[in-house]
Structure 1
Amino acid sequence: MPFFLSPRVIYGKGAIKRLSAELEGKGTRAAIITERNLKEKCSELIESVKAAGYEVTMWDGVEADPTLDIALAASRFLLDSSPQWVIGFGGGSAIDTAKAAWVLYERPDLAAGDLRKSVLPKAKLNLRRKARFAAVPTTSGTGADVTWVAVLTDRSVNRKIVFAHNDIVPDLSVLETQLTLSLPRGITASTGLDVIAHAVDGYTSKQQNDFSDGLCLQAVKMAMEWLPVVCRDGSNIKAREKMLNAATIAGLGFGNSNTGLSHALGHSAGAVFHIPHGRAIGIALPYSLSYIASNPPSEGVLDPVERLAVLARLVGIDDPSPGDAAEAFIGLIKSIQREIGEPSSLRDAGITEDRMMSEMEALVRIAEKDPNMYTTPCECKGKALRGLFEIMWRGSAQ
Structure 2
Amino acid sequence: MNTFKIKPVVYFDTDSIKYLNNLKEKKSLIITDPFMVKAGFINKVTDIFKNNNVEYKVFSGIRPDPPVEVVAEGVKEMISFKPDVIVALGGGSSIDATKSILAFTMKILKNNESGYKRPLFIAIPTTSGTGSEVTSFSIITTGNKKVSLIDENLIPDVAILDASFVKTVPGRITADTGIDVLTHGIEAYVSNKASDFSDALAEKSMKIVIKYLPEVYKNGDNVEAREKLHNASCMAGMAFTNASLGINHSMAHILGGTFHIPHGRANAILLPYVIRYNANLESGECTKTALRYRDISKFLGLPSSTVKEGVISLICAVNVILGLTNTPKNLKEAGIDRQEFVSKLELMAEVALEDRCTPTSPRIPSKEELITLFKEAYGD
1:310 aligns to 2:295 (yes or no): yes
Per-residue CA deviations over 1:32-52 (Å, capped at 9, x if unaligned) read 000011111011112234445
Q: 2:318 — aligned with what?
A: 333
Amino acid corresponding to residue 144 of structure 1 in structure 2: S
Amino acid corresponding to residue 15 of structure 1 in structure 2: S
Amino acid corresponding to residue 199 of structure 1 in structure 2: G
Q: Sequence identity, in percent?
A: 29
TM-fit CA distance, 1:381: 1.7
Q: Distance in 1 between matches of 2:49 and 2:207?
A: 35
Amino acid corresponding to residue 344 of structure 1 in structure 2: K
TM-fit CA distance, 1:6: 2.7
* TM-score normalised by length of structure 2: 0.94
Number of aligned residue pairs: 373
Q: In structure 2, which of residues 238, 256, 262 is the aligned counterpart of residue 252 of structure 1?
A: 238
Q: Distance in 1 between matches of 2:291 and 2:368?
A: 26
Q: Distance in 2 between matches of 1:261 and 1:335?
A: 22
Q: 1:119 — aligned with what?
A: none
User: 3-state DSSP class of the match of 1:343?
Assistant: coil
Change (3 A) 1:351 1:242: same
TM-fit CA distance, 1:371: 0.8
Q: 1:352 — aligned with what?
A: 337
**Residues 10, 173 of structure 1: 8 Å contact kept:** yes
Q: Distance in 1 between matches of 2:289 and 2:50?
A: 49
Q: 2:224 — aligned with what?
A: 238
TM-fit CA distance, 1:383: 1.3
* TM-score normalised by length of structure 1: 0.90
1:223 aligns to 2:209 (yes or no): yes
User: 3-state DSSP class of the match of 1:107?
Assistant: helix
Q: Distance in 2 between matches of 1:381 and 1:49?
A: 52
Unaligned 5+ runs, structure 1: 113-126
Q: Distance in 2 between matches of 1:341 and 1:248?
A: 24
State which drifts further: 205-214 or 101-110. 101-110
1:393 aligns to 2:355 (yes or no): no
User: 3-state DSSP class of the match of 2:28?
Assistant: strand
Unaligned 5+ runs, structure 2: none
**Residues 89, 138 of structure 1: 8 Å contact kept:** yes
**Residues 185, 205 of structure 2: 8 Å contact kept:** yes
TM-fit CA distance, 1:53: 4.3
Q: In structure 2, which of residues 182, 189, 196 is the aligned counterpart of residue 203 of structure 1?
A: 189
Please give the residue correspondences for 1:143-292 in structure 2 after superposition, counting only pairs within 5 Å.
143-155=131-143, 158-292=144-278
Q: 1:135 — aligned with what?
A: 123
Q: Distance in 2 between matches of 1:166 and 1:69?
A: 23
**Residues 303, 313 of structure 2: 8 Å contact kept:** no
Q: Distance in 2 between matches of 1:172 and 1:365?
A: 37
Change (3 A) 1:192 1:344: same
Q: 1:57 — aligned with what?
A: 57
User: 3-state DSSP class of the match of 2:242?
Assistant: coil
**Residues 146, 251 of structure 1: 8 Å contact kept:** yes
Q: Distance in 1 between matches of 2:342 and 2:11?
A: 46
Per-residue CA deviations over 1:140-185 (Å, capped at 9, x if unaligned) read 0000000001000111xx2111111011111000001011011111
Q: 1:5 — aligned with what?
A: 6
Q: CA RMSD in A?
A: 2.0
Amino acid corresponding to residue 351 of structure 2 in structure 1: I
Q: In structure 1, which of residues 365, 372, 384 is the aligned counterpart of residue 350 of structure 2?
A: 365
Q: Distance in 2 between matches of 1:336 and 1:233?
A: 15
